[in-house]
Amino acid sequence: MVQGVCLAEGHAWDDKALSPDQRAAKLVDAMTLDEQIALLRPVDGASLASLGIQLPPSIPAWMRQPKPAGAIGSAGYVPAIPRLDFPALQESDAGLGVADIGYLRPGDAATALPSSLALAASFDTGLAREAGSVIGAEAHAKGFNVQLAGGADLIRDPRNGRNFEYASEDPLLTGDMVGEEIAGIQSKHIVSTIKHYVLNDQETGRTVLDARIDEAALRESDLLAFQVAIERGHPGAVMCSYNKVNGNYACESDFLLNRVLKGEWEFPGWVMSDWGAVHSLKQSVDAGLDQESPQGGDPDYFAGLKDAVTHGDIPREKVRDMAYRIVRALFAVGAMDDRPAPGGTIDKVADAAAAQRVAEAGAVLLKNDGQLLPLHESVKSIAIIGGHADIGVLSGGGSSQVTPYGGSFRDARGQTGIAAFLSPVYDLSSPLKALQALRPGTRIVFDDGSDPQRAAELARHVDVALVFAVKPQIESLDAPDLSLPYQQDALIDAVATVNHHTAVVLETGNPVAMPWLPKVKAVLEAWYPGQRGGEAIASLLDGKAAPAGRLPVTFPAGTAQLPRPAIPGFDPARQVPFEGAGRLSPFPVDYPEGSNVGYRWFEKNKFTPLFPFGYGLTYTHFAYSHLLVKGGQDLQVSFKLANTGRTAGVEVAQLYVAVPGRTHRLVGWAKVDLKPGESQTVTITADPRFLASYDATLHRWTRLAGVYDVYVGKAAGVSTLHGSATLAAQ
């Protein structure tokens, strides 16, 4: 082929011998200015009018419009360019599976994966890639080529209503797990985003708050999580967040977009805004924003892009680069050569099995006194109480909501219209039915938990009581506190008072307080466990599967231990989903914890949490010995790990290191599966970037020479093996 000349069978950019950069350049240069600008201005891909429900007057007119011609019907849509054989951009939310399907296209569904917290709790990067591949394959079969996935915001507040979409409070765990999930999605020739860049750490006032943090702390925490995930997963797009960061909106921050993301990190993809997160044209474009996602009721700033080019306010070459980044990302993941199309084959059985594996691997056993779990054969009667366990398992709400295969149930509790539509959703996977199937010889009875005394009377006459406690969370709303809703704390207390063999199964999107903890024998945190969550929970309770999860977030003993005991800007009167945030006046949110997020804040302040980051029990026991620490240019530890119990199990050995004068950081881990009596020598090499600190004066990362404190343990602050290493400066 001659450079710049069309191939006989097609276009010059069809030549697969060329790099994605070369192919994208040829295609973009064949576009007119109008065609390039069209790529930068998606429209909303669906319409709430299709829901067939009562919409309140506050819903803007644009959300009532018919679905655009050619759109599958989901988040964002850019029409195709037929003359260039360029496909439409079909975007869908994808935090926990291919979302925005069933309720916008009645009759359609997708695999509902467990929450990102559950996935991160597995500490299993291979499982993260598998979960991503499920999303990517189903998106491909449904005709989507862009997935709005990859939630990498660190969990700074355990009341954040969107934490179930995020991975953890730790930048290494978040970066590795989110990066692998993104890689899994893109392995199916689908572009994945990473979001929300950056510091989208609370939902209260998310469109108006100003997150204030010094540069070094930001570099060592949230930015580092994004950097690791981007390097590991190579997402095609970055979605900038609603909020301001140090005085500038994230989508018009030259520091975040141009200097760090596109400059220092050399990110080749495109920057898209969150929905309605754009506040300017020229300032946003100059700062590095490439694509304005649908603005909703806000001004459409990119509508003036062509005039700005004509008048010389924005260079023509800048528009070309913005379009080029989008096209290049499609070529890079193979979406131009293996184009998604609706009607593809989906292996629902295999994908459901993957969802169950994530749920089982991510469930965390928090307490198990007297080895109440797994349920012994001698247990002949069980009471299952509360949590709609007879129907299904809870899921998180908002744009990540997935309509699962098998259907769902809305706990509307008398609500109508949009309020009912936004009510908590349960995937139809009943723990009650699943446990009955596993234990046909056991008498298993159910009570809905609405009357604590009635439930307690039932629990009094069985061998074991299992209380299912739920806490719904939805995008746009933070939880007012750490307590369980619906008077469930009183329910658990009443049941545990009369039955001393009570276990609690938690289905939550955040840490919760447990005033009843001393009274119960066992606690299993199942998170939002997805469309096979009932089967997963039953398998864990009955011993068909063994708990292997570890907490990806600290469970505080109370809100007084948090950097911000009260949520900035929180107003109980505005607790209406997707309303109220825009009516708040701009306000600052300070980050006194800096880079000491989560467990590092607890260490710095000598707080004892309810349960620490990394914590989790198993059905067996492990012993650590023979620690060997090697320093110098790199840090490596080895030790002997032995299963001293009677059953097989999985241990997650964690390596923490303190830079001289600073708190300990997770720098590596090993997930080890051992049979009873089996032992293994384990080696963990520290990720070198987590041994360094950012010097904002020198504008670079540095590692001091000196003695670094080292420990290997079962959780943050749990020093099972302790040592030190002398490291050279870098």
Please name which of 78, 633, 98, 43 lies closest in space to residue 403, comparing C-alpha atoms: 98
DSSP-based helix, strand, coil % in the chain, nearest 5 = 30, 20, 45
Q: Catalytic: which of 44, 274, 427, 489?
A: 274
- Best CA proximity match to 119, nearest among 365, 354, 353, 362: 362
Vertex 33: Cα angle to 28 and 34 (nearest 5): 110
Length of the chain equals 730
Contact of 133 with 150, CB cutoff 8 Å: no
Let me know the angle formed at the C-alpha of 599 by 398 and 213, rounded to the nearest 5 degrees.
70
Give the C-alpha separation, 333 to 646, whole Å.
Answer: 47
Q: Which residues contact 450 (CB under 8 A, 6 or more apart)?
A: none
- Distance of alpha carbon 67 from alpha carbon 616, whole angstroms: 47
Tokens, residue 618: 């198993």
The answer to whether the beta carbons of residues 526 and 505 sit under 8 Å apart is: yes
How far apart, in whole angstroms, are the C-alpha atoms of residue 172 and residue 305?
A: 39
Contacts of residue 309, defined as CB under 8 A and 6 or more positions apart, other chains included, come to: 33, 315, 316, 319
Distance CA 545, CA 540 (A): 5
Taking a C-beta distance cutoff of 8 angstroms, is the pair 151, 118 a contact?
A: no
Instruction: Compute the distance between CA of residue 575 and CA of residue 594 in angstroms, rounded to an integer.
Output: 28
Task: Give the β-pairing of 649-658 and 706-713.
Answer: antiparallel
Which residue has 């299952």 as its token pair? 384
The yes-or-no answer on residue 29 being catalytic is no
Q: How far apart are CA 310 and CA 306, in angstroms?
A: 6
Instruction: Compute the distance between CA of residue 26 and CA of residue 17 in angstroms, rounded to an integer.
Output: 13
| Three-class secondary structure of residue 428 per DSSP | coil
Q: How far is residue 271's CA from residue 269's CA, in Å, rounded to a whole number?
A: 7
Alpha helix segments (H runs only) across 414-528: 417-421, 431-438, 452-459, 488-498
Report residue 21 as tokens: 């950069």
Phi, psi (degrees; rounded to nearest 5) at 198: -150, 165
Q: Which residues, in sequence order, are CB contacts of 133 under 8 Å at separation 6+?
A: 184, 185, 187, 188
DSSP 359-418: HHHH-EEEEEGGG--SPPTT--EEEEESTTTTT-EEE-BSTT---BTT-EEE--TT--HH
Query: Tokens 């619906």 map to which residue?
Result: 486
The number of CA neighbours under 13 Å toward the Cβ of 240 is 34
Cα–Cα distances (Å) from 272 to 236, 322, 526, in that order, read 10, 10, 33
CB neighbour list of residue 35: distance below 8 Å, 6 or more residues apart:
81, 84
Q: Tokens 């009677």 map to which residue?
A: 646
Check: CB of residue 476 under 8 Å from CB of residue 398. yes
CA dihedral 101, 102, 105, 108 (to 10 degrees): 90
Asked if the bond preceding 196 is cis, omega within 30° of 0, the reply is yes
CA distance 558 to 545: 32
The CA-atom distances, in angstroms, between 60 and each of 109, 302, 417, 689, 697 are 27, 19, 16, 47, 47
What is the separation of C-alpha 176 from the centre of its chain, rounded to a whole number of angstroms?
A: 12
Catalytic residues: 274
